[in-house]
Amino acid sequence: MSFPWAKQYEPTNGLTKFLDEKLPVPRLVYNAVGAGYPVPRNLSYFWNFGVLAGFFLMLQIVTGVVLAMHYAANASVAFATTEHIMRDINWGWLMRYAHANGASFFFIVVYIHIFRGFFYSSYKAPREMIWLLGVVIFLLMMATAFMGYVLPWGQMSFWGAKVITGLFGAIPLVGEPIQVWLLGGFAPDNAALNRFFSLHFLLPFVIMGVVIMHIWALHIPGSSNPTGVEVKSESDTVPFHPYYTAKDGFGLGVILLLFFAMVFFLPNYLGHPDNYIEANPLSTPAHIVPEWYFWPFYAILRAFTFDFILPAKLWGVLGMFAAILMWFFLPWLDKSPVRSGHYRPLFRKFFWFGLIPAMAVLFYCGGAPAEEPFVMLSQIATAYYFLHFLVIIPIVSQVEKPEPLPYSITEAVLGSDKKAVLGENTEPAV
Amino acid sequence: MIRIIAILVGLGFAFVALISFVVGAYTAATEEAPDTHLPYEHPQDVNFSFDGPFGTWDYGQLQRGYKVYKEVCSACHSLKFVALRNLGELGYTEAQVKAEAATWTVPGIDPNTGEASTRPGEPTDYFPKPYPNNVAAAAANNNAIPPDLSLITKARADGTNYVASLLTGYRPPSEELLAEHPEAAPGPGLYHNVYFPNMNLAMAPPLTSNGQVTYDDGTEATIGQMATDVAAFLTWTAEPTLVKRKQTGWPVLIFVLFATILAWFSKTQIWAAVKPKKTKA
Amino acid sequence: MADNAATTAANTDTQVETVAGEFRRRDFINVAAISAAGVGGAAVLLPLISQMAPSKDVLAESTTELDVSAIEPGQAIKAVFRKQPLFVRRLTPQEIAAADAVPIGDLRDPQTLAERTKEGHGDMLITMGVCTHLGCVPLGAAEGENKGEFGGYFCPCHGSHYDTAARIRKGPAPTNLVVPDYEFTTDTTVVVG
User: B144 lies in which domain range?
Assistant: 59-242
Please report the residues numbered 344 through 373 in chain A whose beta carbons come closer than 8 angstroms to any beta carbon of chain B: 372
Mean pLDDT of B220-241: 96
For residue B238, tell me if it sits in a domain.
yes
Nearest CA in chain B to A286: B197
Q: Which chains, if any, share at least 3 CB pairs under 8 A with chain B?
A: A, C
Confidence of residue A143 (pLDDT cuts 50, 70, 90): very high
How far is it, in rounded angstroms, from Cα A233 to Cα A220?
16
Give the active site residues of C. 158
Query: Which band of pLDDT confidence, cut at 50, 70 and 90, is reported for residue B278?
Result: low
Mean of the per-residue pLDDT values for chain B?
92
With CB atoms and an 8 Å threshold, state whether B262 touches C43. Answer: no
Query: How much of chain B, in percent, has pLDDT values that exceed 90?
Result: 76
Q: Domain count for chain C, please give it.
A: 2
Give the CATH number for residue C148. Answer: 2.102.10.10
Q: How confident is the model at residue A199 (pLDDT cuts 50, 70, 90)?
A: very high
Query: What percent of chain C stands above pLDDT 70?
Result: 87
Q: What angle do CA B231, B236, B238 make, to 5 degrees?
A: 90
Tell me, yes or no, whether B17 lies in a domain: no
What is the pLDDT, as a whole number, of residue A24?
Answer: 94
How much is the average pLDDT of B107-128?
91
Tell me the CATH number at B136: 1.10.760.10
Contacts of B274 in chain C (CB under 8 A): none
* Chain B residues close to A322, C-beta within 8 Å: 9, 13
Q: Tell me if B198 is assigned to some domain.
A: yes
pLDDT band (50, 70, 90) for residue A412 = confident
* Average pLDDT of span C69-75: 88
pLDDT digits (tens, 9 = 90+) for C145-156: 888 889 899 999
**Judgement on whether residues C92 and C37 belong to the same structural domain of the protein:** no
Number of domains in chain B: 1
Looking at beta carbons, which residues of chain A come within 8 Å of C56? 87-90
Q: What string of DSSP letters covers A163-202?
A: HHHHHHTTSTTTHHHHHHHHHTSSSS-HHHHHHHHHHHHH
B114: in domain = yes
pLDDT category at C2 given cuts 50, 70, 90 is very low
pLDDT of residue B30: 86
How close C179 comes to chain B (CA, Å)? 24
Q: A1 in a domain, yes or no?
A: no
Q: Is residue C6 within 8 angstroms of chain A, CB to CB?
A: no
Peptide bond into A242 cis (omega under 30): yes
Among the partner residues C8, C30, C55, nearest to A89 by beta-carbon distance: C55
Same domain as C114, residue C71: yes
Number of domains in chain A: 1
Q: What is the reported pLDDT for A2? A: 72
Is C37 touching B (CB cutoff 8 A)? yes
What gap in Å lies between CA B131 and CA B150, rounded to an integer? 15
Q: Do C4 and A34 touch (CB under 8 A)?
A: yes
Please tell me which of the candidates A62, A88, A245 has its beta carbon nearest to residue C56.
A88
Distance from CA of A206 to the nearest CA of B (A): 30
Interface check A10 vs C, CB under 8 A: no
Alpha helical stretches, state H, A34-74 = 49-70
Name residues whose C-beta falls within 8 Å of residue A228's C-beta, 6 or more positions apart in sequence: A120, A121, A338, A339, A340, A342, A343, A405
Is residue C5 predicted with pLDDT exceeding 50?
A: no
CA distances (Å), origin A364, targets A296, A298, A371, A394? 8, 10, 13, 28
The CA distance from A407 to A411, in Å, is: 6
B156: distance to nearest CA of chain C, Å? 27
pLDDT tens track for A84-113: 999 999 999 999 999 999 999 999 999 999
- Assign B276 a pLDDT band (cuts: 50, 70, 90): low
| C158 in the same domain as C77 | yes
A-chain residues within 8 Å CB-CB of C57?
Answer: 84, 88
Q: For position A129, which CATH number holds? A: 1.20.810.10
**pLDDT tens-digit profile of C21-49?**
555 666 888 899 999 999 999 999 999 99
Q: What's the confidence (pLDDT) of residue C7?
A: 42
Range name among A184-188, B30-34, B82-86 with the lowest pLDDT average = B30-34
User: pLDDT band for position A413 (50/70/90)?
Assistant: confident
A interface test, pick of C55, C58, C59, C61 with most A CB neighbours within 10 Å: C55
A305 touches chain B (CB under 8 A): yes
Mean pLDDT of B223-241: 96
Among candidate residues A241, A243, A213, A216, the one with its CA nearest the CA of residue A43: A243
Alpha-carbon distances, residue A222 vs A3, A49, A252 (angstroms): 9, 16, 22
User: Using a CB-CB distance cutoff of 8 angstroms, which residues of chain B are in contact with residue C32?
Assistant: 262, 266
**Which chain B residues have a beta carbon less than 8 Å from that of C60?**
83, 85, 123-124
Tell me, what's the pLDDT at A418? 67
Is the residue at A25 inside a domain? Answer: no
Q: List CB contacts (< 8 A) between A89 and chain C.
A: 51, 55-56
Alpha-carbon distance of A374 to A365, in angstroms, equals 5
Residue with the larger pLDDT of the pair B33 and C118: C118
Asked if the model's pLDDT at residue A252 lies above 60, the reply is: yes
Of C37, C51, C53, the CB nearest to A95: C51
**How many residues are recorded in chain B?**
281
Complex prediction ipTM: 0.93
Q: Counting Cβ atoms within 10 Å, is residue B57 exposed (0-12), middle (13-18) or buried (19+)?
A: buried
Task: Show the domain range for C68.
Answer: 58-192
**Residue C74 above 90 pLDDT?**
no
Of A85, A89, A260, which to mutate for an interface test with C (greatest number of C Cβ within 10 Å)? A89
Tell me whether residues A91 and C56 touch, CB distance under 8 A: no
Instruction: Please state, in angstroms and rounded to a whole number, the distance separating the CA atoms of residues B88 and B270.
Output: 53
Q: Is the pLDDT of residue B74 over 60?
A: yes
Q: How far from C135 is each of B222, C126, C150, CA to CA, in Å? A: 60, 17, 20
Using the Cα atoms of residue A239, residue A241, residue A245 and residue A246 in order, give the sign of their dihedral. Answer: negative
CB pairs under 8 A between A and B: 174
C47 closest CB neighbour out of A84, A91, A246: A91
Give me the pLDDT at residue A72, please.
96
Q: Residue A419: its pLDDT value, please?
A: 59
C-alpha B99/C-alpha B123 separation (Å) is 9
What is the per-residue pLDDT across A357-374, written as a single tens digit (0 to 9) for each?
Answer: 999 999 999 999 888 889
* Residue C11 pLDDT > 50: no
Give the pLDDT confidence score for residue B180 in this predicted structure: 85
Residue A138 CA to residue A270 CA, distance in Å, equals 20
C23 with C118, same domain: the answer is: no
Q: Clarify whether residues C161 and C81 are in a common domain.
A: yes
Pair (C35, C65) in one structural domain: no
CB C87 within 8 A of CB C166: yes
Amino acid C1: pLDDT: 38
**Is C30 in Cβ contact with B270 (below 8 Å)?**
yes
Task: Please indicate, yes or no, whether residues C119 and C180 belong to a single structural domain of this protein.
Answer: yes
pLDDT score of A198 more than 90: yes
Q: Which of C34, C50, C66 is the last residue of a domain?
A: C50
For residues A1-22, average pLDDT: 90
Mean pLDDT along residues B217-233 = 95
Mean pLDDT of A257-281: 96
* Res. C3 pLDDT band, cuts 50 70 90: very low
Q: Residue A427 falls within a domain, yes or no?
A: no
**What is the C-alpha to C-alpha distance for residues A62 and A69, in angstroms, rounded to an integer?**
11
CB of B247 closer than 8 Å to CB of C21 = no
| Separation CA B138–CA A275 (nearest Å) | 23
Q: Is A126 left (phi over 0), alpha (psi -120 to 50) or beta?
A: alpha
One domain, residues C20 and C92: no
Coil/strand/helix, residue B210: coil
Instruction: Supply the residues of A annotated as catalytic.
Output: 219, 223, 247-248, 291
* Domain assignment of residue A84, given as a range: 31-270+287-417
Can you give the pLDDT at residue A427? 46
CA atoms within a 13 Å half-sphere pointing along the CA-CB vector of B56: 5
Give the best residue of C29, C66, C77 to mutate against chain B (max B CB count within 10 A): C29
CA distance A319 to A325: 10
- Contact residues on chain A for B23, CB-CB shorter than 8 A: 305-306
Please give the residue of chain B at the shortest CA–CA distance from A155. B155
**What's the CA gap between B92 and B102, in Å, rounded?**
14
pLDDT at residue A137 greater than cutoff 90: yes
Q: For B267, which of A87, A246, A268 is closest by C-beta distance?
A: A246
Q: How confident is the model at residue C175 (pLDDT cuts 50, 70, 90)?
A: very high
Whether chain C has a CB inside 8 Å of the CB on A62: the answer is yes
Sequence-separated (6 or more) residues with CB below 8 Å from residue B53 = A265, B246, B249, B250
Buried b (16+ CB within 10 A) or exposed e, B168-192: bbbeebeeebeeebeebeeeeebbb
Q: What span, in angstroms and rounded, lies between the C-alpha atoms of A325 and A317?
A: 12
Task: Locate all alpha helices (DSSP H) within chain C, ordered by sequence.
Answer: 2-18, 22-50, 56-60, 93-101
Give the Cβ contact number of residue B114 at 10 Å. Answer: 8
pLDDT value at B34 more than 90: no
Cα C33 to Cα B264: distance, rounded to the nearest angstrom: 9
Same domain, C62 and C34: no
Task: Give the helix/strand (H/E) hosting B254.
Answer: helix B242-271
CB contact under 8 A, C51 and A91: yes
